[in-house]
């Protein structure tokens, strides 16, 4: 088989969902991918399902579908919360820690990515989270070392770090002026704004974050009137905020922006 090397594979762990992207070579733009062959769905639910009496695990939407058509008690939901709260899940009379389940979940995502992309070697593994703690860093490092990666090739980063990296790897016109990111999940709605300042030996990057959850919540999007109200609030916020600075590009990310409410 012909060898295929990619520069990096990224796995993002957000509340309730994960996503995968990869970069083929230095300077190229990261590409998002789905783990389902016939479905370009990029948000992968934090679900695991253990198939009856086989020991095989399914992840994401495959796990949810299997639970609906099999044994619901074999489903582990919100793997991220089980890990954070150090809880356990009993399946077929066996105890599984949140750490064990999260390891298995990430292992499946890596295997699916390798199958879909077809790489034989990946030079860097990047796992991102909002606020990765030492437990997550140890889990990720230990898992990928068992898969054959050298420790220095495994990186665990915050969302803010990767946001800045992603922006700066794009064409310069993207970040000629400020860049704004709106991130909405089920729990919060935040705005991050990148500004830059030239210094003697290069650029200094600043990221300012504002929590907008008090203005627009995910629950507002469940009704037509709520979506219309959220759209008006977002428009008013942009009109006021952009009086004070010039923005080259705006990113919208998170499950809250999957529905087209923000006309």
Beta-strand pair 178-184/17-23: unpaired
User: With b meaning 16 or more CB within 10 Å and e meaning fewer, what string describes 34-67?
Assistant: bbeeeeeebbbbbbbbbeeeeeebbbbbbbbebb
The angle that helices 98-117 and 134-146 make with each other, rounded to 10 degrees, is: 50
pLDDT, residue 1, reads 52
pLDDT in tens, the chain (263 residues): 577 889 999 999 988 899 999 988 877 778 888 887 766 788 899 999 999 878 899 999 999 999 998 899 999 999 999 999 999 999 988 999 999 999 999 999 999 999 988 888 999 999 999 889 999 999 999 999 999 999 999 999 999 998 898 898 888 899 999 999 999 988 899 999 999 888 888 889 999 999 999 999 999 999 999 999 999 999 999 999 999 999 999 999 888 998 889 98
pLDDT, residue 197, reads 87
**And the tokens for 197?**
């300042």
Cite the beta strand spans of the chain per DSSP E: 5-14, 17-23, 31-33, 44-45, 47-50, 57-59, 75-77, 88-91, 94-97, 121-129, 154-158, 178-184, 189-199, 202-211, 247-253
User: What is the rounded CA–CA span in Å between residue 226 and residue 224?
Assistant: 5
* Cα angle 52, 57, 59; round to 5: 125
User: What is the rounded CA–CA span in Å between residue 56 and residue 34?
Assistant: 21
Q: Which among 243, 129, 247 is positioned nearest to 180, based on CA atoms?
A: 247
- State pTM to two decimals: 0.81
**And the tokens for 149?**
């990666």
User: With b meaning 16 or more CB within 10 Å and e meaning fewer, what string describes 171-185?
Assistant: eeebbeebbbbbbbb
Contacting residues for 213 by C-beta, under 8 A, at least 6 apart: 187, 188, 189, 190
pLDDT, residue 42, reads 85
pLDDT, residue 225, reads 96
Beta-strand pair 57-59/44-45: unpaired
- 34 by DSSP, 3-state: which? coil
């Amino acid at each position: 088989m012909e060898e295929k090397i990619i520069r990096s594979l990224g796995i993002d762990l957000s509340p309730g969902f994960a996503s995968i992207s990869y970069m083929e070579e230095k300077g190229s733009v990261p590409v998002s991918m789905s783990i389902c062959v016939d479905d370009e769905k990029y948000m992968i639910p934090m679900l695991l399902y253990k198939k009856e009496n086989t020991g095989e695990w399914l992840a994401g939407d495959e796990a949810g579908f299997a639970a609906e058509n099999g044994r619901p008690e074999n489903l582990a939901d919100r793997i991220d919360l089980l890990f954070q709260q150090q809880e356990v899940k009993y399946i077929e009379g066996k105890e599984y820690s949140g750490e064990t389940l999260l390891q298995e979940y990430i292992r499946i995502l890596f295997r699916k990515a390798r199958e879909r992309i077809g790489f034989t070697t990946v030079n860097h593994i990047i796992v991102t989270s909002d606020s990765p703690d030492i437990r997550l860093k140890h889990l990720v490092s230990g898992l990928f070392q068992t898969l054959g990666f050298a420790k220095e090739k495994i990186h665990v980063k915050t969302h803010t770090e990767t946001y800045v990296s992603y922006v700066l790897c794009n064409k310069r016109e993207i970040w000629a002026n400020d860049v704004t990111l709106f991130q909405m999940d089920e729990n919060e709605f935040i705005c991050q704004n990148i500004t830059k300042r030239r210094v003697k030996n290069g650029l200094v990057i600043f990221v300012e974050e504002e929590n907008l959850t008090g203005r627009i919540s995910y629950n507002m999007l469940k009704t037509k009137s709520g979506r219309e109200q959220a759209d008006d609030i977002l428009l008013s916020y942009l009109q006021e905020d952009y009086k004070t600075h010039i923005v080259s590009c705006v990113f919208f990310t998170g499950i809250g922006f999957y529905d087209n409410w923000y006309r």
